[in-house]
Structure 1
Amino acid sequence: MSLRTRPVLLAGTLAAALVLAACGSDGDDGGGGGDGETAGGAITVWTMESLPDRFAAQQQMAANFTEATGVEVELVGIEEAQAPQLIQSNALSGDLPDVMASFPLALVHQMGGLDMVDTETTQAVIETLGEDTFDPAALELTSDGENQLSVPSDGWSQILVYRTDLFEEAGLEPPTTYEALETAARTLTTGDQFGITIATDASDVFTQQSFEALALGNGCQLVEGDEITIDSPACQETFRLYQALGSEYSPSGTQSVDSTRASYFAGQSAMVMWSTYILDELAGLRDDALPTCDECAGDDAWLAENSGVVTTITGPDGESAGSYGEIASFVAINGDNPAGAQAFIEYMMSDAYVDWLAMAPEGKTPMRTGDGENDTAFADAWAGLEAGVDRRAPLSEFYDEEVLGVLTSVGETIDRWALKEGQGELLGSFTAELPLATAVADMTGGGLSAEEAAGQVAEAAQQMLPEQ
């Protein structure tokens, strides 16, 4: 699976639509009815896991749920890029689903800030399944104060993948610091090779994700309290580094999710910033995203065996740096069948949970680790799952314990802008409108200096701050 992306959307328009829908909802009381015998009726579920193989797997899970509970499920696959517009249009028409599956943090918090989320049903699910069976960090990141906004299901980390063979030949240190990263990018940019390939697409949240991953490593935050800090000295240093990487040591032109992966897979770039979803593709387990480097011709797994992984790249101001990651959730929406929604989410997080994780274990670290009787039941089951699409194999066949440790530590190490500051609604708007990606594209294209880009983004973010 490639990183899923979202388009530019005026957050104010989405907010107006969501407020209208919230005011007109018949399900404001929410909660109750996790028992399939009392749920009944039918529910609609939107899922962002819309790739054909994963959608088919979810159809089977939904059919099994219906057989077990009697609740009919209309499953609708949506692209992450479509989500904001679909929420906007369906909110205006009063036709939102009962459950949203695999929804990202920023969108969850934006909907939560606009009273779209059925927090009573969500809390009932958590209590039924057992709060202590979930990763505490995941619960914190999916809550707003005392309100639990969603049920965290799985997570992935943003990682820097690098060619260990090229680093060793050049006598380079692993790219774990700003200095080591920039030195490696400069050294490995030669006549027929780039030091790195990094996102510069103005319309792609992947660009923001890549920047935020570097920013967190230098202690750069979007907001602190109610003060926008994206133009702070620490953040300006991240802009400076990103400008150098994107304009001097990365392929020219707009770099996207697909082009960055293709460049690294072809051996044209020595480093790439991506998500853990790349790991099965890097191992040659997916035909539509195979490594194509010269050395890969006789061994699809060659690139995986000659790649290392870094999660946090520490800058000069990053004393207690965290790593960027995403947590996907099941979200109960204020609707007509909260009992059915609760029953479905509970089923997906218990009976069907291992099947859910098995769709893409390289990008689905479990946020519910145990089942109440065994504290590590789901974590243990996940560790034995096979990854891949056209071929399947355990990731342990290709990666050492250090790389696998990246996957298992998602919940422990994840950090995100704005959420711990109680500014999830700001992050939702910021992610929808993508002022950072726009500024990065202009900066790496030569239109803005690092300082100008930081100032432009800060001004845009300031306009999005919710009124206190």
Structure 2
Amino acid sequence: MRMMRVAAIALVCALVATACGTRGARNPDDNTLLVWSMEVQPDRIEATERVFARFTERTGISVDLVPVEDAQVGQLLASAALAGEMPDVITALPLGLAWSFAEDEFLDTAASTRVIDSLGPKTWTDSSLALTRRGQEQIVVPSDGYPMLLAYRTDLFREAGLVAPTDYAKVRTAAERLTGGGRFGISIATDASDAFTQQTFEMLALGNDCQLVDDAGAVTLDSPQCAATIELYDQLGRDFSPPGTQSVDSTRASYFAGQSGMILWSSFLLDELAGLRDDAMPSCPECEERTWLARNTGIVPLVSGPDAAGDAAPYGEVTSWAITSQASSADAEELVRFMLTDGYAGWLDMAPEGKVPVRLGEPDDPRRYLDAWADLPAGVDTELPLREVYPPEVIDQLVTGSSELDRWALAQGRGDVLGPLSAELPISRVIADMTSGAIGPAEAQQQMQESVVEMAER
């Protein structure tokens, strides 16, 4: 019933567009856009409101900002669609939810496509457009991204005679050699209830061309490539990582305390690693100097596996601006264009370490936004541009990792699987069982395959 009603809404909107030439023209007595934002931290809400105030001053279009938690946004949007009260725009929308909402016909993909066409598709990274493209249309307007990274202690690697952990074999060797004497080789996620565990697995999987589905849409977690990824994850989690359930917070705490030599985390780690956030400060014995750990950490955005055969790709997230199917379309498009032009630096400024621009510049200035981003201050309690803390090669790796991102299922046309996968976390659950010793890698692979097959066939 819900799908029929949503489809009916979409059809009515399309008919209005055809008959009148303009859909959702703004009522002069109510020139307000409703925007849901998934950036819910108080400092980020304030930063967004400041940029929206500039938009209102320029255009006369007011914006009501409503922060919405990502765990609630799906149910809230479905209810709003049925009531005819959807927001005009949703921002900071991750890929899984973007594809889920597109499948449910909640999004005005034609409006997003018009925004991108008007600003110039070539000003975006190829991967950000590919990950949000369905046929000839863009389901959303990509804004920024962040890569998953392997961070490692360069001082410990030098002392142990280790090379940078850029592939499976080097990671395994380093984890084994650095484990002992009260230290673990790596901190890796094993929490059954945390999407971070699944994200960490997908990062390693993409490095070995372990795909969720093939080009025909069939689930392929039973492949040899995935077997190698599962075996590596099991060994790292069981033998070389701290015991017990490891979460997004505990993995970071272990690395910050000097208790592990490597960590798999998102680029949001970088400001905290540099001592720019008081509630997540490095606490290792050498960390009395605020930036010591950052200066002794290297990053690897892509860990290649033995079976990738040139198809390895870095994992990360792209967040986007989405225009809904009930939007005041012309005004919504104007807001999104503003947020990808004059308001762009102000948006990225709220967290530069995790908001790497995927629109790099303008046709006449191809690096405008990338160069502006590099000068933005990162941090919460202390602020410094990332390039004042990290060497140029780290910044280059961060940009490269964000511009070449890949994700499971999207290239194969099965973006519809990502929403249920993120909601139900079958891979996180299996990894937790495996790394605890309850099951072995072979059984874990079978359970992953069966769980995702059942999900994909619904």
Same fold judged by TM-score > 0.5? yes
TM-score range, shorter chain: over 0.9
User: What does 1:152-171 correspond to in 2, within 5 Å?
Assistant: 152-171=142-161
CA shift, 1:307, in A, is 0.6
1:357 aligns with 348
User: Residues 126-171 of structure 1: CA distance to partner in whole angstroms, max 9, x if unpaired?
Assistant: 1222222222221111111212100000111100001111111111
1:278 aligns with 269
Contact 2:358 2:403 in 1 (8 A): no
CA shift, 1:210, in A, is 0.3
CA shift, 1:80, in A, is 2.6
User: What does 1:152-191 correspond to in 2, within 5 Å?
Assistant: 152-191=142-181
Contact 1:100 1:333 in 2 (8 A): yes
2:357 aligns with 366
Once superposed, what is the RMSD of the aligned Cα atoms? 2.2
Amino acid at match of 1:239: I
Mapped partners of 1:255, 1:155: distance in 2: 25
2:47 aligns with 57
Amino acid at match of 1:145: G
Q: Does 1:426 align with 2:411?
A: no
Mapped partners of 1:360, 1:123: distance in 2: 27
2:245 aligns with 254
Contact 2:25 2:329 in 1 (8 A): no
Mapped partners of 1:361, 1:266: distance in 2: 24
User: What does 1:26-65 correspond to in 2, within 5 Å?
Assistant: 27-28=13-14, 41-65=31-55
1:72 to 56, 62, 68: 62
Query: Matched residue of 2:113: which SS?
Result: helix
2:299 aligns with 309
Q: Does 1:457 align with 2:442?
A: no
CA shift, 1:336, in A, is 4.3
CA shift, 1:429, in A, is 2.1
Mapped partners of 2:306, 2:189: distance in 1: 23
1:105 aligns with 95
Give the direction of change, closer, same or farther, for the CA distance of 1:32–1:283 in structure 2 (3 Å limit). Answer: farther
CA shift, 1:423, in A, is 0.9
CA shift, 1:408, in A, is 1.6
CA shift, 1:319, in A, is 2.0
CA shift, 1:219, in A, is 1.2
2:337 aligns with 346
1:229 aligns with 220
Query: Matched residue of 1:194: which SS?
Result: coil
Mapped partners of 1:361, 1:250: distance in 2: 29
Contact 2:323 2:333 in 1 (8 A): yes
Instruction: Give the number of equivalent residue pairs.
Output: 451
Give the direction of change, closer, same or farther, for the CA distance of 1:57–1:87 in structure 2 (3 Å limit). Answer: same
Give the direction of change, closer, same or farther, for the CA distance of 1:248–1:20 in structure 2 (3 Å limit). Answer: farther
Normalised TM-score (structure 2): 0.93
Contact 1:39 1:343 in 2 (8 A): no
CA shift, 1:404, in A, is 0.7
Query: Matched residue of 1:224: which SS?
Result: coil
1:21 aligns with 6
Contact 1:135 1:369 in 2 (8 A): yes
Mapped partners of 1:402, 1:260: distance in 2: 25
Give the direction of change, closer, same or farther, for the CA distance of 1:35–1:379 in structure 2 (3 Å limit). Answer: farther
CA shift, 1:208, in A, is 0.9
CA shift, 1:22, in A, is 4.2
1:202 aligns with 192
Mapped partners of 2:457, 2:81: distance in 1: 21
Give the direction of change, closer, same or farther, for the CA distance of 1:400–1:312 in structure 2 (3 Å limit). Answer: same
1:128 to 107, 115, 118: 118
1:9 aligns with none
Contact 1:193 1:270 in 2 (8 A): yes
Normalised TM-score (structure 1): 0.91
1:326 to 308, 317, 327: 317
CA shift, 1:420, in A, is 0.7
Amino acid at match of 2:6: A
CA shift, 1:91, in A, is 4.0
CA shift, 1:84, in A, is 3.1
2:395 aligns with 404
Amino acid at match of 1:293: C
Give the direction of change, closer, same or farther, for the CA distance of 1:329–1:232 in structure 2 (3 Å limit). Answer: same
CA shift, 1:20, in A, is 3.9
Mapped partners of 1:79, 1:435: distance in 2: 22
CA shift, 1:19, in A, is 5.8
Give the direction of change, closer, same or farther, for the CA distance of 1:36–1:351 in structure 2 (3 Å limit). Answer: farther
Mapped partners of 2:405, 2:280: distance in 1: 27
Amino acid at match of 1:351: D
